[in-house]
Amino acid sequence: MVAVTDGTAPVRRAPLIAGNWKMNLDHQQAIAFVQKLHWALRDAKHDKGSVEIAVFPPFTDLRTVQTLIDADKIPFELGAQDLSAHDSGAYTGEVSGAFLAKLACRYVIIGHSERRQYHHETDEVVAAKVRAALRHGLVPVICVGETSEDLEKFGASAVPVGQLQTALDGVPAGADIVVAYEPVWAIGSGQAATPQQAQDVCAKLRDVVAEKLGGDAADRTRVLYGGSVKSSNIASFMREPDVDGALVGGASLVVDEFAAIIRYQKHVGV
């Protein structure tokens, strides 16, 4: 990521490195993981102001991780992996944004490809969840991305652009959101997009934010890349002007690897 200009002064978007644990680590394992990550960064004298760090544990870990972060003053933000489109009521198994806000979650992932694929979440459901997150003061991390079939048929950007357009329906211009471009073919495959591919689509997604929410929002909004991010490729993504961070799956579960991703500015000299 680099400085962008809003026409008057340069605007710098704070890089965000986000770890999506998926259905891994129970609440006891979560304690050990968060402590080890914190110690690894502290031992490496990581400058905590240089990169925002967020972890997205399973629902059942959230209270435990919240308590740990709070007690030990660990500079990590907390996020959930999903929320209900509804605020309360007869929705067995669902979790309200109100509950996440009470647990001091700042972020919530919405529309991850695994939710779209295994839970049949449509673009409209994603849009309703985005609105629910905003109602409760949560920052939605809106995931969009094309499958390999989409890529072949429509090219890289058409599907994620369409998904984001629908996801932003009814979102007010001042809303705080994060967008994550995650090509489905790159998730967990070891086959990351190239930095140029990520840049091209992230720039188009920023244009969607500009079209739907205005130019100021587009300048301010972090657009992340996700899909087989590792310590060996993170810097090449972060050099791109429209990539403001990463949503990391598998590598966010390995303390030293995730710490190295967070420290991308040091070990590769961005």
Active site residue 38: no
The distance of closest approach from Cβ of residue 247 to ligand PEP in the complex, given in angstroms and rounded to an integer, is 5
Nearer to ligand PEP by Cβ, of 182 and 200: the residue is: 182
Structure tokens at 185: 């073919």
Tokens representing residue 263 in the block: 């420290």
- CA of residue 152 relative to chain centroid, distance: 26
Which residue's C-beta sits nearest to ligand PEP?
A: 249
User: Smallest distance from the beta carbon of 159 to ligand PEP, in angstroms?
Assistant: 16
Name the residues that contact ligand PEP, by CB under 6 A: 20, 182, 187-188, 226-229, 247-251
Nearer Cβ to ligand PEP, position 75 or 188? 188
How far apart CA 193 and CA 170 sit, in angstroms, is 31
Residue 65 or 141: which CB sits closer to ligand PEP? 141
212 or 226: CB nearest ligand PEP: 226
Q: Tell me which residue of 256, 221, 224 sits closest to 240, measured CA to CA.
A: 224
112 is catalytic: yes
The answer to whether the beta carbons of residues 1 and 221 sit under 8 Å apart is no
Per-position b or e across 80-99, b if 16+ CB within 10 A of its CB:
bbbbbbeeeeeeeeebbbbb
Selected catalytic residue, list 38, 112, 114, 146: 112
- Separation of alpha carbons 76 and 255, rounded Å: 14
Which member of 52, 121, 146, 182 is catalytic? 182
CA-to-CA dists, residue 193 to 63, 143, 169, angstroms: 35, 15, 28
Q: Name the minimum Å distance from CB 192 to ligand PEP.
A: 8
Q: Which residues are catalytic?
A: 112, 182
